[in-house]
Amino acid sequence: MVFDPIRKKFVVLTPEEWVRQHVLQYLIQQKGYSPSLINVEKQLLLNGTKKRYDVVVFNPNGSIFLIVECKAPSIGITQDTFDQIARYNLVTQAQYLMVSNGLEHYFCQMDYQAEQYIFLKQLP
């Protein structure tokens, strides 16, 4: 078990949770995003189906700045992973996407006019 400072409770430290906790520390400590603007594992409704995103970072105005999909280190990052986060983003409309399995990290900026994502070397 590990204490999650965002959820303010202890959670089971599964391989995916290990990645999520490291991503949260990266977002807060390295990128300087405010913990008060971060939300973890909340439900969203996608085409009538309940799904859960891993991490969302909000802008101060309440719009979504970033959505993050975490996978266990043993899970490779594939096109299916990008398709999953892109489906979630149909609902969230984030400016940026991040996918990580703790070993590989991908960052994308959304271009809604061209209906594509642009890969970045890092998050702003």
Phi/psi-derived region of residue 49, left when phi > 0, alpha when psi is between -120 and 50, beta in every other case: beta
The structure's pTM equals: 0.89
CATH tag, 14-120: 3.90.1570.30
The helix (H) or strand (E) run that includes residue 22 is helix 15-25
Q: What does DSSP assign to residue 34?
A: -
User: Encoding tokens for residue 122?
Assistant: 């890092």
| C-beta atoms surrounding 116 within 10 Å | 11
**Count of alpha carbons within 13 angstroms of residue 45, beta-carbon side:** 1
Per-residue pLDDT of the chain (124 residues; tens, 9 = 90+): 888 877 777 888 899 999 999 999 999 999 999 999 999 988 888 788 888 889 999 999 999 999 999 999 999 999 999 888 988 888 899 999 999 999 999 999 999 889 888 999 999 9
pLDDT of residue 51: 83
| SS3 per-residue string spanning 44-103 | EEECCEEEECCEEEECCCCCEEEEEEECCCCCCCCHHHHHHHHHHHHHHCCCEEEEECCC
Q: Where are the domains of the chain?
A: 14-120
Scanning the structure block, which residue is given the tokens 């061209």? Answer: 114
What pLDDT is attached to residue 25? 94
pLDDT at 46: 78
Q: What confidence score (pLDDT) does residue 87 get? A: 87
